[in-house]
Amino acid sequence: MRIMAIDYGDARTGIAVSDPNGVLSGDAWTINAWNAEKLCEEICGIVQNREIGRIVLGYPKNMNGTLGPRAEKSAALAELLREKTGLEVILWDERLTTVDAHRILSDAGKRGKKRKEKVDAVAASLILDSYLDSLK
């Protein structure tokens, strides 16, 4: 079964999808959406087209493990996705994934606007890799 990871953001949301066996990370891209309902609609289309069986949604905890407003938004999106797709939606600790994504892109020579456009997709891939590693 394919697994989708989501790095939910205010302006851009990173999406990463595993291979059909749910073992390796595959495609990653971003969706530009400011409205949770519109974002959910686009994700539902991807779920159908790519035959997704499970969703892993980044859960942005604070460094001390507490939950803030961003985590509350992610929890609300998770509930909306469960309702609209009927799939299991796992909230996954995403601490430092965006920092790591910036580092990876910087090391690859991506600067400025090019890095900004890709960072959410890379963060989603890191969330997916972390989740897939936990299954082994």
CATH number of the structural domain spanning residue 18:
3.30.420.140
Average pLDDT over residues 56-72: 91
As a whole-number percent, the residues of the chain with pLDDT over 70 amount to: 98
DSSP, res 59: E
Please give the helix or strand (H or E) that residue 18 lies within, else none.
Answer: strand 12-18
100 closest CA partner among 134, 129, 126, 61: 126
Q: Parallel, antiparallel, or unpaired for β 2-7 and 25-32?
A: unpaired
User: Greater confidence, 71 or 107?
Assistant: 71
Query: pLDDT by residue (tens digit) across 28-55?
Result: 999 998 899 999 999 999 999 999 999 9
Number of folded domains in the chain?
1
Contact 124, 25 (CB under 8 A): no
On average, the pLDDT of the chain sits at 91
120 three-state secondary structure: helix
**pLDDT given for residue 10 in this prediction:** 86
The neighbour count for residue 63, using CB atoms within 10 Å, is: 7
pTM, entire model: 0.91
**pLDDT given for residue 57 in this prediction:** 98
Task: Please give the Cα distance from 133 to 130 (Å, whole number).
Answer: 5
* 19 pLDDT more than 90: yes
Q: How confident is the model at residue 115 (pLDDT cuts 50, 70, 90)?
A: low
Residue range(s) defining the domain that contains residue 30? 2-135
Please give the helix or strand (H or E) that residue 91 lies within, else none.
Answer: strand 88-93
Classify each residue of 65-93 as buried b or exposed e, where b means 16 or more C-beta atoms within 10 Å of its C-beta.
Answer: eeeeebbeebeebbebbeeebebebebbe
**pLDDT given for residue 40 in this prediction:** 96
